[in-house]
Homo-oligomer: A and B are copies of this chain.
Amino acid sequence: MSHPHPELGPPPAMAEGALRIVALGGLGEIGRNMAVFEYDGRLLIVDCGVLFPEPDQPGIDLILPDFEYIRNRLDDIEAVVLTHGHEDHIGAVPYLLRERRNIPLVGSKLTLALIEAKLTEHRIQPTKLEVVEGERHRFGPFECEFFAVNHSIPDALAVAIRTPAGIVLHTGDFRMDQLPSDGRLTDLGGFARLGAEGVDLLMSDSTNAEVPGFVTSEREIAPVIDEVIRTAEKRVIVASFASHVHRVQQVMDAADHHGRKVALVGRSMVRNMGIARDLGYLRVPPGLIIDPKDLEAYPPEGLVLICTGSQGEPMAALSRMANRDHPIRVAEGDTVLLASSLVPGNETSVNNVINGLVRWGARVVHKGNAKVHVSGHAAAGELLYLLNVTRPSNFMPVHGEWRHMRAHAKLAALTGVPEDHIVIAEDGVVVDLFDGRAKVVGAVPAGYVYVDGTSVGDVTDFALKDRRILGEEGFISVVIVVDSATGKLAGGPEIHARGSGIDPSMFDAILPEVERALQDNAADGVVDVQQVRRVVRRTVGRWVSDTYRRRPMIIPVVIEV
């Protein structure tokens, strides 16, 4: 197995007839999936998603792939293929379209409807949307064939990309539910046909590669949800992803079955389920849905609420209910059903929400105590099926952290892919498929681009480092006024602090020392500003460290009057 080293340099010019593959996100992380394929000077992009920030990226709203690699080549893009409608696959499209408005977007009917709604929110009118199903389409030199796959959102696709360099199969996110609730099977027959033709490179979803065996069928969830609703004393509040149409369908069916009305709570839930219903992906029995405003008109035991917030997002309805900061007051006898996965990184938030709800007397049903969710990603057993049916000459695990990609690589090796035909690449690593071999040839920048408020890329890793220091230690600023005419000290020093946990009166102890240091450094009365900054930083920093064993940010401010 070859894998990248930090010493990878820029890639060489492409050999004629080679296909170049660069993932700008999704390799070494769960999120911001984006793969750029290049053949004969033209580009095809598969997915363009966002990554959600971790605690060490405070204040950040979203993380985008770095478009720098393609920024000067936007006109070479033939199309962006979107495998399905999850945020980590489509969330960065509006930001890409800001750079070139008329990039064609390609995907299934539901996927494109969801991206269209998202673009409308960003006030972007897409120029070209091309709906595809299981057929072939040509985008410049790329002949794409689409295959149905099942996942935790309807209408997901895998894509095979044919160029003279060979056939690449990119699975997108997928699983192989053999009894999917909408009857839409992952197209194993199609993959087998492709395998018979010869798959030169398989790029396959690694998320669950560490999980042995097979993911339970979505179908087995329905009776559990039905039972939760049947036995619920009062209201049932279901939290799920706003895109999980099948799960919402199961909840609606169970509610209907037990004569309960359903209210959808939250903007994204209402919006997405509206789209899903309009396009025929969600069957809503007549009269089932009521307006959340009318909840009071129904008895608690006649209600099911469906909302977002299953990941403990602080502003979502469920968190606010847990904190008694929402018009819906959770009370003794209510049942809360978290019908979703627990996305890594959200454990603490979700635990806090569960404790809040339990404290008010709710019964909380979640995947830890009932079979109310199954993953949308193929486990090791399913991944082996795919590997065996496609028998790829080369393999590249995608969509996963290192642990997942390594585990997936091992599975590929077990099915007979030669170890030196398995490529583990991180974001930015350049892989060329040439002469039947996939090889790492270099690397390009693929760092994080942070969205904070309305700005993209303004907040840098440098600013984040400042935030981490400020957030853990606070700051102490020391203001000194200098007479610009004479260069002499004219006022201050004055000390201000926030978040340092040091009582302001304590600064009386250090002020004389700062004053003395300043005088020593301006013996002739003339102030060297840089020197003053250094002296202040050192004097105050040492005092705080010695007195409190803390390291707040020390900010000397020299102002001239």
Binding site for B on A (CB under 8 A): 28, 54-55, 58-59, 210, 344-345, 347-348, 351, 354-356, 358-359, 364, 368-369, 401-403, 406, 450, 452-455, 458-460, 463-464, 466-468, 470-475, 477, 479, 481, 490-492, 494, 496, 498-503, 547-550, 553, 555, 557, 559-561
Contacts and interface: CB of A to CB of B under 8 A. Distances in A.
A454 B54 contact: no
A166 to B, nearest CB: 29
6 contacts: A344-B348, A345-B347, A455-B550, A458-B501, A470-B475, A494-B557
A499 B467 contact: yes
Contact of A559 (B458, B472, B481): B481
A453 B550 contact: yes
Contacts of A492: 559, 561
B496 A369 contact: no
Given A345-B347, A458-B548, 7 more contacts: A54-B348, A344-B351, A358-B403, A452-B550, A453-B550, A471-B472, A477-B557
A146 to B, nearest CB: 32
Nearest to A29: B355
A560 B492 CA distance: 8
A107 to B, nearest CB: 29
8 A-B pairs closest in CB distance: A471-B471, A491-B561, A459-B501, A453-B549, A59-B472, A470-B470, A466-B499, A467-B499
Contacts of A503: 458
A458 B501 CA distance: 6
Contacts of A470: 467, 470-471, 474-475, 498-499
Most buried by B among A55, A59, A550: A59
A504 to B, nearest CB: 12
A355 B455 CA distance: 31
Contact of A479 (B347, B406, B553, B557): B557
B490 A561 contact: yes
A256 to B, nearest CB: 31
A210 B348 CA distance: 17
Copies of this chain assembled into the complex: 2
A156 to B, nearest CB: 26
A559 B547 CA distance: 26
A548 B402 contact: no
Contact of A548 (B453, B472, B473, B490): B453
Contacts of A501: 450, 452, 455, 458-460, 463
Nearest to A483: B561
Nearest to A54: B348
B58 A472 contact: yes
Nearest to A342: B347
Nearest to A556: B496
A502 B347 contact: no
A369 B356 CA distance: 31
Nearest to A496: B557
A561 to B, nearest CB: 3
A471 B401 contact: no
A550 B456 CA distance: 13
Nearest to A406: B358
Contact of A466 (B58, B344, B498): B498
A512 to B, nearest CB: 18
Contacts of A364: 403
Most buried by B among A28, A54, A364, A550: A550
